[in-house]
Structures are given as C-alpha cells and as structure tokens.
Amino acid sequence: MPTANTQEENSKSELQKNHGGGGGFTRWAVVAVIFRLALIYFPGNLNLSSRPEVSTPLTSIRRLAEGYWLKQSSMSPYAGSMYHGSPLLLSVLGPLTVKRIEGQPGHILCSLVFVLADLISAILIRATGRKLQIAYRKSLKSLNLPNKSTDSGALSSGDIAALVYLWNPFTIVACVGLSTSPVENLFTILTLYGAATGLAPLAAFGWVMATHLSLYPAILIIPVILLLGYGPDAPPSKLFRSKEHGKVGDGKSSQEIIFSWRRAFHLLVWTSLWSVYVLVLCSISVKQHGSLQEMFQRTYGFILTVEDLSPNIGVLWYFFAEVFDFFRDFFLIVFHSNILFMILPLAIRLKHRPCFLAFVYIAISSMLKSYPSVGDSALYLGLLGLFLDELADMQFSFFLFCGYVGVSLLSPVMHNLWIWRGTGNANFYYATAMAYACFQIVLVVESVSSMLNHDRKLTKLSTSKLQK
Amino acid sequence: MWLPLRLTLLFLFLLLSPRALLRSGSAAVVSGEEEEFHEELLLKPLPDRKVLAHFHFHSIAPPSKSNGRHHHLFPKAISQLVQKFRVKEMELSFTQGRWNYERWGGFDPISSNNAKPPGVELWAVFDVPEDQVDAYWKNLTNSLSGLFCASINFLESSTMYSAPKWSFRITPGSLRYGTLPREAVCTENLTPWLKLLPCRDKAGLAALLDRPSIYKGFYHSQRLYLTSNASVPAETVSGISLEQTLTVVLQPNSPSSSSIHSGESNFQPSWSLSSIFGRKISGKCVIAQSSIVYLQLEKSIFSEQKDNMDNGPNSLASEGFAGGSGFEMSLDPDIVIEEENQSQHKGSSVLYGFWVEKYNESQPLDLGLKWKYPVFWSSQQAPLHASRFLMGSGNERGAIAILFKSTNSADSSSGSRHVSDGCELQVDVFQVVPWYIKVYYHSLQIFVDDEAKPIGDFVHKIQVSPSKDKTSPGMMEMLLKLPCDVRSAALTLEFDKGFLHIDEYPPDANQGYDIPSAVISFPRFHSVMHLLSNDSIRKSPLLSRFQEKNRVQSYTEVLLVPLTTPDFSMPYNVITITCTVFALFFGSLLNVLRRRVGEEERYLKAGKKKGWLRVLLSRLLAKFRGKPMEEPDQPSSESAPLIGKKLVLKVILVAVLAVAWQFYST
C-alpha cells in the first residue's frame, strides 16, 4: 500500500529528525537547567521574589510562607489577607519554605521544585508539539498538499516551543524568582498534553488542577473538549468534506472528521471525579481552621474582586485604584466579561484548531487577568512556538519582539523611579503596563488573523487542486 | 392611771423604734456614700531640669437608688455614658509630646499609668455579651467624640481598633483598644475635660491651668479613667469612680539661673508655681473633700546630702525645708510622707504635702523650690528600655524593629529577686499595625546581644491576628522571656507596604502614615510606692492610686511610614485610556474574526447567477436563520432587500431589548 509506505517513511524521517533534534534539545534543556541553578546560587541577592513583575499576591512565595506559618500556628492560612493560593500548594510547598539545608541558599528546595516543574513543562510542550506536527502532516497529506515544514530546519516546532519556554527570560525570572506560576503553567500544559494525546483522565486532571490553582484556565475546557472530540489541530473540516465530494466517484473510504462524543463524555466524567477528589483534599486540609467556603472566598473571590491594588504588569490595579467607588462593580463585570465575550466567537471560528484556540485563550486571560505576572506571559509565548509553521507569515513579529524587549527593560526602570527613588510617578509605570497590554493585544490579534489566513491559503490550494 | 399610759407609751416606742433605728441607719448609709470630689496636684522636679506637674481629680458617685438620675457633683455626661454603653472600665487619653522614659523615669507609678502614646488612646471594657461589644464600642466612640471635640469617631471603623487578649491588661474581659496617633490635642479638648470638674477651672487647683503655659510644655497628657462597679441590679444606678489626670512636663524659666554657662548650668532651675504656671492657687474648690499639693523629691538627693552633712534619715525631712540641705522650699509642708525603704529599688522618694484650704485669696499658695547647689540624680528605670524603628528604604517594603536595651539602673539583682525559677525577664509586647502595613509574621527574627537566635528559645507565647485588607488591623501579642543579664535584644518583622484606593488616602498623603505605639510591659515588675501608712494617705486618692500594684508599662515611639501614592489628579485619564485599550482589544479581535476574504469572490459569483437569486432567496432566508455559519457551497448572498430585512430585525431586537431594560430597571 502506498499510504502505508509513505507513513512508514514519514515516521522514519520523523524519528531521525527527532533523534537529531532530540540531541540538540536535550543539550539545550540541560544547559537551561544549569543556568537556572547558577542563578539560584547567585551570591548576590537578586531580590526577584519581591519584584512586582514576578510575584503577584497570588503567586508570591513569601505570602505562601506566611500562610504556612499561620497554618502551623494553628490558624486558618486565609486569616488575614496574605495568602490567596490553594491549600494543596500550601501543603506541598509550605514545608519546603521552612526547611533549610546547611550551606545552601534559603529557598533551595522550592527552587528545585520550580526548576523541575519548568523542565517537565518543556518536555510536555515538546511531546504536544510532536503530536501536533504529526497530525498536521497527516492532514496535509490527506489533502494532497505539499508539506512545507519538512525543510523548516534542524528542530521541529515542538522542540523550538519547548526551548523557547525554557530559555524565555520571563520563564527564567519566574522560576528563579520563586513565584508559583511555574507550577500553574505545568498543569495548564499538562491539560493540553493530555488532550492532544487523547488521554481524557490526564486532561481532566490537568484542567481541574489548573483551574483550582488559578481559576482562569477554566475556559480551557472548550478547547480541551474540542481537542478530545476532533483530534489535534487540522485544516478546516470543510476542506476534507469538499475533497470527499470531489472524490465521491472514486468511492474511497471517507475521512470525515466526526466529533467523538464518547471522549467528551469521558472527559466530563473524569473532570467531575477529579474535581470531587481535589475538593475532598482541600476540605481535608482546610478543615481544621476554616471551611471550603472561606477558601473559595479567599482565592476565587480575591481574583474576581481585585482587592489588592499593588502594582503589577497588568492594567487593572491602577484602574481600580483610581476609579470611583460606585463604578467599581460595573467595571469589574465589564473587564471580566471581556474574557468571556471572546470565548464563543473564537471557539466558532477556530474550532478546527483547538490547540491554537487554547493558546489564544491563555494569551487573552494572561493579558486581562487581575494579577498578571511574567510567568503567565512565559506560558503563552512558549505555546506560540508550537504554531511556528502555521504562523510563519505573521505580521509585525519584529515589531512585537522589540516591543516586548523594550517594555521588559523599561518597566523595572519606571518602577524603580516611582517606588524606590520617588522621582517618577505612578503614571510612568502605568504607561509601560499600558504599552505591554497593547503589544499583547497586537500579538493575539495578529496571530489569530494569520492563522485564519493560513487556513484560507490551504483552502485556496486545495480548491485549486480540486479544480485541476 | 399613769402606769398603763406609760406602758402603752413604752409599748408604742418599742413598736416604733426598730423603724426609727432603721431609718436612722439608712440615713447614715446615704450620708456615708455621698458623691465625693478630691483634687490633688503633684509636683516633681525631673533630673533634666524640668518639672513634672500631675493634676489628679477624683470624682466618685456611689451606687444608689436615691439619686436617681441626678448627681450633685458627678458629671452627668459621664454617668449617662456609663449607663448607656455598659462601660465597666474605660481610659481615654489625649497626649501631645512623648514621655522621655530615659530621663523622666520608667518605673514609677506616674510613668506606668500616665505616660501615654501621642495622640488619642482609648480602651474600654464593656459589660455586655461578646457579640455586642463592637456595636457598643462604636456608639461609645461617637459619644466621646462629641463630648471631647476630638475625632475619636474614627476609632469606630473596624480597621482602627483591636481586641487584645492578654498582653495589654491581665484581665481583659471584652476589651477594645484603639489609638489615633495623629490626633492633635489642644484647648478644645481640654475645655470639655475641665467641664467635667465641679469647679471647672474657676477655683481650686484647676485654676492653675493656664493654657499657654501648659501647651508650652514638653509633654502634655490629659487622661480620663473611669471604673464602674458592674453586677449591680438593673434598677439601681451603678457606682462610678472617675479619675481625671493631667500630666504636664514644663521647663521652668528661672531668671536667676538663666545664664547657660557651663558652670552655672549644673544648677537645677529654681521655680515656683507662679513662675511655671503664671498663676497661684487662691484656695480650694469648696466642694472638694480634699485639696492637697504634693512635692515629690527623690531620696537620692538626700542621700547625697547625707554623705555631705552626715544627717540622719529621720531628721532630713525637717532639715530639707529648713534649709539645711541643697534646696529650700518657700512654704512649710503640712505633712511629710516617706516611702518605705523596703522596696528593693534605690529610687524611693519623699512627699511633702500642703493643704490648700489654709490659703486664700489674700494669701495664695505659691510653692517654690530653690536649689542651693548642684544636685544630680536619675529616675528609676524599667528593666529594659524599649525603642522601635523602621528599617529599609523605598516605598515597597521595610521592616519594623523593636529594640530592648538593658538599663543599668535596674540592676540585675532586682530582677533575680523577682524571679524565683532561674533568672529570666518577662516582657509582654503588644503591637497593632494598620492593615496597609502587611506584616509577614513568619519573618520574625530575634537578636539577643546582637546574635540571631532561634525564636523558640525566647518567644514564650505569641498570638497573632493578621490584618485583613480594609477590615481589621494586624495585632501581635508576644511574651518574651529574656535572660536577666541580657544587654540588648531586638525583634524584627518584615512588611510590605500596601497600595490604597485614592479615596482612602488622607488629605496630605505624602506625609506618611503612623503606626501606633507598641505597648511594652513587664508583668513581673510592679510600679508601687510603699508609703508609710497614714490616715491622710488613705484618704488621698492620688496616693492610694500610687500604692496600687500596677505592672510596669511603657509605650514605644510612633512610627511614620511613607506610602506610595498614585497620581491623584487624573482618574479620568486612567479610566478613559484603560477603556480605550480594552475597546481596542475587543474591536480588533472581533474584526479579525468576522472578516472573510473569500466572501467577495463568492459574492461576485453570486452576482453572475442573478437569475438564481430570486429562487434562492426564500430558501436562503430560512437557512440563514438556522445556520449563521456559511456552508461551503452555499453562496451567501447579500442583496439589498435582505440587508433591509436584517436591519429591520436588528432594530426590532434593539428596541425589544431597550423596552425590556426599561421595564426591568423600573
């Protein structure tokens, strides 16, 4: 059979490439880990853990340590308004914040956990990327379109995405700065990996944990269902259908993609199972001094009401510090629903590319969330690498790159001028946050637009082929 | 004939007498428990050439039914306050300036009871169930605010007060504690305070209170302390004891020793009542039960003299005013009271009492003190001197440090005598921190003799109620046990500074915020004067107050924390620019999503097959409603009538929505 042959060839070449690329990946991944360890052991105190860009009220390790201390002194960790994270994270990371090893830096054990989380995330991104690439080639082949990505270089897009994730300065800073966002990112990536490989239990676990840790990944349930139902990203389904129409006379087996309700149902069952499990674990850990209701109030309530107005790289803190009190509720609803409004149009338009859809959701939520940090940006920038082939002709990429570099250099300067020197003004820092938001908007809009253009191009190619 | 008459009379008498006896007895009770008023003034030269004047006014209203709601002497405002808010115990102080514990003493009853933190301090114990205490506290603060013309009502908000468990007072009950460190204290607070006195400042000792000379002083603290005996039946009015004190530290400007040459400056300045207050006492307040002026001198002054002149301790008192020793009093004291020397502390003192009733308008009381040669002495110190400061720079984070330094005067032997089991020094720390100072209690570090030590070794007990944003302040109560030979100990706590909403900043936001004083107390040390018991002492409320056992207590400095401010001038700009960015996001993303490149092509195609259009129209319309997303082979035609229909539909939809909104909102 010719198809089998080509498939074999394909997989062989894949294997070879992966092997070759894998060597490169391993090398670079190891170097990245060593680089992180070197930064952790850096003699001077970098004080990254109290930078507003790195640690938000939700992800700060100092607040976690305070919560753990409160819990140890037999109080609710949510007493006072210091800790707003998950009680599970508290039980896992809490003891590590206290434990000291002689002759080692203070939070060495925590740092190691975060480095490990980063590494696992990178490996999962790579595996997801490979899955996506295989699916992409397969769908191109089935449409009889030329596969351009074979000559895209030594590394596959999955490897590149993983390395981008590992070597992104944002990721490194978030990891070395001891914010808990590497762990949150890990669960988000685990969700995507589980969904891409069709493992409903894993996807459900990742989704439940990610939602539990930071609420915003809740909207990922739509891409996850689509991913499990339709399989990984593919060109629009109508192409296959039209191709079938063209080949009706041939009488070949149909390749139509059908939504697999069985898998979606599996996912729902597993999701409810894991949710119950996580809730039970949480209630056990908060039972002594508090209640689940208090936990939800202190975590989700804190996220949704934007109580903490300390500066971060988002735009909401300054807005809610300045807005008149009687408008506060209105704007809270408006800003949060900005994320929700976009869910449906995006899902309709991009339902054939669930992974990309997930990327767009993550990017939007990390831009509009109440307490954003660079760790959130690191996640979507890493995922962006997965769609290198599709987004090859994205506009403004250099401009965006320069913008990101510029903002990440200017923002600490403005913060320093305002907070430490007192010569600057809150508006300076806010302006950089504004610019950052604008760059993120341009990135999201451009990536969506170029993905749609890519699909159009595929359509054009396949229809022209059909017409031939 | 006479006999039966006598008998009947006798019988009648016997019949009536128990009642008569009873009546006389009850009358005696009433007369014995009349409302009382005492006024006393204590003057005391301080080691650093200043003079302490401590006014003590004591009003007592006994528990009785007979008075009903009326009082003879007792201020009605206070009794109503107590009745209405079920106050068991309350202390309110207005203070300006800081008590200098190192120079003015930190161990004697005045410094333990009357040295108060700057601004307003209020604490009250209520006789109500725990769940109603907050409501009563709020009402009390508002009433006091009106009564004393001060912004005590700011203590109403739950971010301003706390409920210490054990470190502030030993038997707290339902205690609430709040301070306003920035409250400016001036005559408008003093006048209502004086109005509570039966003679106001028209007669008696209060007539001395000349406003300019009081407020010129280094320290000024007016205080109101009341206790009511609770557990009285509901129908009777509970007895209240009201203690009003005013403590001022003044600098006497004596013209004789005005030259500040190095040789002359050793002399303590001589002063008299008229020179420090600008007034004299021209008789007592006629209603007052007692009216006494005391002059308190440290015994160490005499011991110096004793060495010089070899005077016996018994004769020194008489020698003192007779001019034998280093000072001379302008008047002869009516009574001399010595502190019993059983106290372990070297600083004991002598009190000279002067009856004010002996003086009148023509012969006013003008007590003066003249030093003959330089005298030096030092005040009694608390075992540890506590001070508090901030560490770090910038407006993002910092640390609070409390430093205890051993005072040399409180020698270690006294501590060891107090403590039987091993030599350790107990220190209670009570600190309230406003919520915008977000303290990390896990970062507590302790340094003993400049060495970092594990916390468990010294912190015997710690209780923390962490601050809640915009709800409650952070409170820390701690019991430290330090070794007696400790030279210094320091506690540090890190904090992050919070960021407030623009409405929450006070008018002068860049001035910074005050962290109220921490209260440091030494539970094993008691400031008590053991006076040789005497009838006059028992009558004097001031001296009996001095003889009460109170634990040594001191307040640390108020800390000023500058907080970062946003730009107050441009909320509109921020709102509009942020909303623009959100609109940019929303609009551009939607635009990208709904843009169709291939559509034009298909439209052109559809235009060619115009004949089909009419036929397809009805079918399309039905399909369009069912499936907004286009089928691949379906030409999505956009002709004029269709658009018109859609437009109409949209307009109707909007209208319906508007009507629904109207209906719903009204």
Radius of gyration of chain B (CA): 37
Number of residues that make up chain A: 468
Are B376 and B305 in contact by the 8 Å Cβ rule? The answer is: no
CA nearest neighbour of A35 among A103, A106, A93, A119: A119
- What integer pLDDT is reported at residue B435 of this predicted model? 92
- Do A315 and B586 lie within an 8 Å CB cutoff? no
Give kind and range of the element (H or E) at residue B124: strand B119-126
Same domain, B154 and B228: yes
Residue B265: pLDDT band (50, 70, 90) is low
Instruction: Let me know the angle formed at the C-alpha of B425 by B423 and B426, rounded to the nearest 5 degrees.
Output: 135
Question: Per the domain annotation, does B37 fall within a domain?
Answer: no
Identify the pLDDT of residue B438. Answer: 92
Task: Identify the residue with better confidence: A155 or B379.
Answer: B379
pLDDT at A9: 43
Rg (CA), chain A: 23
Read off the CATH number of the domain in which B454 is found.
Answer: 2.60.40.740
- The pLDDT value recorded for residue B204 is 87
* Domain assignment present for B575: no
Residues 392-431 of B with CB under 8 A from A: 393-397
Q: From CA B582, how far away is CA A323, in angstroms rounded?
A: 15
CB atoms A444 and B589 under 8 Å: yes
- DSSP H/E element including A50: none
pLDDT of residue B237: 60
* B307 pLDDT higher than 70: no
CA atoms of A318 and B91, how far apart (whole Å): 42
According to the model, what pLDDT value does residue B345 have? 52
Asked if the C-beta of B571 comes within 8 angstroms of chain A's C-beta atoms, the answer is yes
Do both B364 and B391 map to the same domain? no
Which residues does residue A348 pair with via DSSP β-bridges, in sequence order? Answer: none
Give per-residue burial for A18-37: e unless 16+ CB within 10 Å, then b.
beebbeebeebbeebbeebe
- pLDDT of amino acid B402: 95
A70 near B CB under 8 A? yes
Testing the interface with B: which of A391, A445, A454, A466 to mutate, by most B Cβ within 10 A? A445
Do B171 and B212 fall into the same domain?
A: yes
Any domain includes B196: yes
In whole angstroms, give the CA distance from residue B275 to residue B295. 16
In a shared domain, residues B117 and B213 = yes
Residue A169 CB neighbours (<10 A) = 12
- Beta bridge partners, B220, equal B96, B248
Strand order in the sheet with B519-527: B459-465, B474-483, B424-433, B519-527, B550-555
Judge if B431 and B326 occupy the same domain: no
- Global confidence as pTM: 0.84
**A342 neighbourhood in chain B, CB within 8 Å:** 586, 589
CB contact under 8 A, B584 and A441: yes
Task: Find out whether A125 and A161 touch, Cβ atoms under 8 Å.
Answer: yes
User: Torsion angle, CA of A449/A451/A457/A463, rounded to 10 degrees?
Assistant: -110
**Out of B471, B503, B597, whose CB is closest to A325?**
B503
| Banded pLDDT at B386 (limits 50, 70, 90) | very high
Average pLDDT over residues B614-634: 57
Residue A315 per-residue DSSP state: S
Write the DSSP assignment of B303-352 as a string of letters. Answer: HHHHHHH---HHHHHHHHHHTSSSEEESS--SEEEEB-TTSSSS--EEEE
Q: What is the pLDDT of residue B229?
A: 77
Look at residue B392 in the predicted model and tell me its pLDDT: 87
Arithmetic mean of pLDDT, B58-80: 79
Each domain of chain A, given as residue ranges in start order, spans 2-247+258-386+394-467
Domain end point (choices B251, B280, B311) = B251
Query: Does the CB of A294 have a partner CB in chain B at under 8 Å?
Result: no
At B235 the pLDDT is: 55
pLDDT tens digits, B398-440: 999 999 998 864 444 444 444 444 678 889 999 999 999 999 9
Q: What is the structure's pLDDT at A108?
A: 84
Provide mean pLDDT across the span B517-527: 89
Same domain for B493 and B534? yes
For residue B369, what pLDDT is reported? Answer: 86
Residues of A in contact with B462 (CB under 8 A): 73
Instruction: Provide the residue range defining the domain that includes B353.
Output: 259-380
Report the alpha-carbon distance of residue A258 to residue A244 in Å, rounded.
14
HSE on the CB side for B538, CA within 13 Å? 3
| Number of neighbours of residue B245 by Cβ within 10 angstroms | 22
With 80 as the cut, is the pLDDT of residue B181 above it?
yes
DSSP, res A301:
I
Q: Which residues, at least 6 apart from B641, have a Cβ–Cβ distance to it below 8 Å?
A: B617
Establish if B595 belongs to a structural domain.
Answer: no
| Number of domains within chain B | 4
How confident is the model at residue B121, as a pLDDT?
A: 94
**C-alpha B62: how far from its chain's center?**
28
> Encoding tokens for residue B654?
């909007």
What pLDDT tens digit does each residue of chain A (468 aa) get? 333 444 444 444 444 444 445 578 889 999 999 999 988 887 666 678 888 888 899 999 989 999 999 999 888 999 888 999 999 999 999 888 887 777 676 778 888 999 999 999 999 999 999 999 888 888 888 877 776 655 555 678 889 999 999 999 999 999 988 899 999 999 999 999 999 998 999 999 999 999 999 999 999 999 999 999 888 877 777 777 666 665 544 444 445 567 788 888 999 999 999 999 999 999 998 888 888 899 999 999 999 999 899 999 998 999 999 999 899 999 999 999 988 988 999 998 898 899 999 999 999 999 999 999 999 999 999 999 999 888 888 888 899 999 999 999 999 999 999 998 888 889 999 999 999 999 999 999 999 999 998 888 888 888 777 766
Which helix H or strand E contains B203, and what residues bound it?
none
- Tokens 């105190």 — which residue? A45
- Given B464, B500, B595, which is nearest A73 (Cβ)? B464
One-letter amino acid of B346: K
Tokens of A162: 């993983």
- B353 and B414 fall within a common domain: no
Each residue's pLDDT tens digit, B134-147 = 999 999 999 999 99
Percent of chain B with pLDDT over 90: 32
Among A318, A333, A450, the residue to mutate for chain B (most B Cβ within 10 A):
A318
**B479 phi and psi angles, rounded to 5 deg:** -115, 115
Asked if B441's CB is within 8 angstroms of A448's CB, the reply is no
Tell me: do B491 and B447 sit in the same domain. yes
Per-residue confidence (pLDDT) for residue B408, from 0 to 100: 64
B114 and B236 fall within a common domain: yes
Name the A residues in 142-181 with CB < 8 Å from any B CB.
Answer: none
Closest to A323 in 3D by CA, of B508, B503, B586: B503
A214 contacts A375 by C-beta, under 8 angstroms: no
For residue B577, being part of any structural domain is answered with no
Task: Please answer whether residues B437 and B561 qualify as being in contact, where contact means their C-beta atoms are separated by less than 8 angstroms.
Answer: yes
Note the pLDDT of residue B258. Answer: 45
B577 contacts on A by Cβ (under 8 Å): 434
pLDDT score for B412 = 43
What is the Cα–Cα distance from B80 to B71, expressed in whole angstroms? 11
CA dihedral B114, B118, B119, B122 (to 10 degrees): -40
Nearest CB to A242 within list B571, B595, B632: B632
Q: Is there a domain that residue B587 lies in?
A: no
CA B566/CA B499 separation, integer angstroms: 8
Residue that terminates a domain, selected from B251, B277, B299:
B251
Torsion of CA B628, B633, B634, B640, to 10 degrees: 120
Residue B335 located in a structural domain:
yes
The arithmetic mean of pLDDT across residues B7-36, rounded, is: 49
Phi, psi at residue B289, to the nearest 5°?
A: -70, -40
Closest chain B CA to residue A63 = B440
- The burial class, CB within 10 Å (0-12 / 13-18 / 19+), for A201 is middle
Residues 314-343 of chain A whose Cβ lies under 8 A from any Cβ of chain B: 315, 317-325, 334-335, 338, 341-342
B168 and B228 both lie in a single domain: yes
The Cα–Cα gap between B51 and B219 comes to: 11
How far away is chain A from the Cα of B631, in angstroms, using its nearest Cα? 8
- B418 and B468: one domain? yes
Residue B430 CB burial class (10 angstroms; 0-12, 13-18, ≥19):
buried
Would B366 be classed as within a structural domain?
A: yes
Which of A131-140, A380-389, B359-368, B376-385 is the most confident on average?
Answer: A380-389
* A441–B566 CB contact, under 8 Å: no
Residue B131 shares a structural domain with residue B263: no
In this complex, the residue of A238, A315, A419 whose CB is nearest that of residue B394 is A419
Structure confidence at residue B310 (pLDDT): 42
A95 touches chain B (CB under 8 A): no
Alpha-carbon distance B60 to B55, whole Å?
17
Tokens of B632: 């691949």
**Domain's final residue, options B205, B234, B251:** B251
Does residue B466 or residue B234 have the better pLDDT? B466
What's the distance, Cα to Cα, between the start and end of chain B in Å? 101
Residue matched to tokens 């004067």: B529
C-alpha span between A335 and A324 (Å, rounded):
15
Q: Which of residues B432 and B626 earns the better pLDDT score? A: B432
Nearest C-alpha in A relative to B443: A66
